[in-house]
């Protein structure tokens, strides 16, 4: 059995949001205040998550990514990862984190079964980092990165959401970070999810600026090597540098044709597409494998050929506000 949609895309990858809560309030992800979080009773239990993943694994799910909110704020995350890693068929588990508590948890998470890591690091300037994250501690996150390298995660990808007025002047600094460190620095377009038109338009930075800044600094970007994982990035490298950079542009150049993922929200909904409203509730059937399999296929039937993000800028320009969930609620 395999999870193949009507456009013949094979799905072997499930992103699991284990919480909608976060210890930061990044400007591109959450409002500064007024965010409504799920009640604890509304968040899936470990048993429910494991039951859903077991059914997915029987249908061909092989790769998992643990997300949030911030996944490391969930109690007993290490124990949950251990249980997921033990499910027959699951071959790879990755984690996306803001790194605030990574120094304390890196080694335990590696032993539990996390092999790959995505770390959000939107600025290497403490003041700018604090402004983007609304009270994040850059030094603490950097120490978390050092702990992750020491623990042996591979690859480690640094996610940098480019936001005008916050970090677009640091592009060259981030590229040069790959000179000595075997890191993958991924520049990501600012996405209009949960944003009004004026806010998104004022902060959007096209990824063509990465090439412009590199050229101005005398750095040549050549095609890079494919990196282990499931991401939609295009990879480049500076000749002689230890690491690479990646470009992820969901707004200007969507990557739907190769999409192989489904998403499971913290409250137990299967989302076939990050940028689509349709979702299928699976929590009530978490202990019914056969019903769960039916719901996985139902979610696939809802998956569009292309998402609307490529025209999101146009929608916002015309005063239309998409009604997607906030990024932290989806586990994007």
Please check if 6 is assigned to a binding site.
Answer: no
CA–CA dist 309, 330 (Å, integer):
15
Q: Are 264 and 296 in contact (CB under 8 A)?
A: no
In a domain, 307, yes or no: yes
* pLDDT the model gives residue 33: 81
Please check if 25 is assigned to a binding site.
Answer: no
In a domain, 64, yes or no: yes
Measured CA to CA in angstroms, residue 325 lies from 10, 31, 53, 75, 331 at distances of 25, 13, 23, 24, 10
Please check if 285 is assigned to a binding site.
Answer: no
In a domain, 111, yes or no: yes
Please check if 256 is assigned to a binding site.
Answer: yes
Please check if 101 is assigned to a binding site.
Answer: no
* pLDDT the model gives residue 275: 67
**Chain center to CA of 15:** 8
* pLDDT the model gives residue 200: 67
What is the count of structural domains for the chain?
1
Please check if 157 is assigned to a binding site.
Answer: yes
**pLDDT (tens digit per residue) in 243-292:** 999 998 766 556 688 889 999 999 999 998 876 778 999 999 999 999 99
pLDDT at residue 90 tops 80? yes
pLDDT tier for residue 41 given thresholds of 50, 70 and 90: very high
Strands 261-264 and 269-271, by their bridges, are antiparallel
pTM above threshold 0.85 = yes
| Mean pLDDT across the chain | 88
Query: Which percentage of the chain shows pLDDT scores above 70?
Result: 86
In a domain, 188, yes or no: no
Please check if 301 is assigned to a binding site.
Answer: no
* Positions of E strands within the chain: 3-4, 10-11, 13-17, 63-67, 92-97, 116-120, 156-161, 184-188, 222-223, 234-237, 244-248, 261-264, 269-271, 280-281
Domain that holds residue 61: 13-156+256-329
In a domain, 262, yes or no: yes
Please check if 119 is assigned to a binding site.
Answer: no
For the domain that residue 95 is a member of, what is the CATH number? 3.20.20.70
Least confident of 14-28, 191-205, 208-222, 305-319: 305-319
Q: Are 242 and 225 in contact (CB under 8 A)?
A: no
Please check if 62 is assigned to a binding site.
Answer: no
């Amino acid at each position: 059995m395999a999870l193949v949609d009507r456009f013949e895309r094979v799905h072997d990858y499930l992103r699991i949001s284990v919480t909608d809560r976060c210890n930061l309030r990044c400007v591109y992800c959450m409002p500064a205040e007024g965010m409504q979080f799920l009640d604890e009773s509304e968040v899936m239990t470990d048993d429910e998550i494991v039951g859903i993943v077991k059914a997915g694994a029987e249908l061909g799910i092989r790769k998992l990514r643990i997300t949030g909110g911030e996944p490391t704020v969930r109690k007993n995350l290490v124990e949950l990862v251990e249980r997921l890693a033990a499910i027959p068929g699951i071959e790879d588990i990755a984690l996306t984190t803001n790194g605030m508590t990574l120094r304390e948890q890196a080694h335990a998470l590696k032993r539990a079964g996390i092999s790959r890591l995505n770390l959000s690091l939107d600025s290497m300037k403490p003041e700018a980092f604090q402004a983007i994250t609304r009270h994040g501690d850059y030094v603490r996150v950097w120490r978390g990165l050092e702990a992750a390298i020491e623990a042996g995660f591979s690859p480690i990808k640094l996610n940098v959401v480019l936001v005008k007025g916050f970090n677009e002047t640091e592009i060259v600094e981030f590229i040069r970070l790959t000179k000595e460190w075997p890191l993958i620095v991924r520049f990501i377009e600012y996405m209009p999810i949960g944003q009004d038109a004026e806010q998104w338009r004022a902060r959007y930075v096209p990824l063509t600026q990465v090439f412009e800044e590199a050229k101005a600094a005398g750095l040549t970007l050549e095609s890079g090597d494919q990196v282990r994982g499931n991401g939609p990035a295009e990879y480049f490298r500076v000749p002689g540098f230890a690491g690479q950079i990646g470009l992820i542009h969901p707004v200007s150049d969507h990557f739907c044709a190769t999409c192989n993922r489904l998403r499971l929200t913290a409250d137990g909904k299967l989302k076939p597409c990050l940028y689509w409203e349709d979702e299928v509730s699976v929590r009530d059937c978490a202990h019914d494998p056969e019903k769960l399999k039916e719901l996985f296929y139902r979610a696939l039937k809802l998956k569009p050929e292309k998402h609307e993000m490529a025209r999101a800028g146009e929608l916002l320009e015309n005063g239309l506000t998409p009604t997607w969930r906030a990024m932290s609620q989806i586990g994007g």
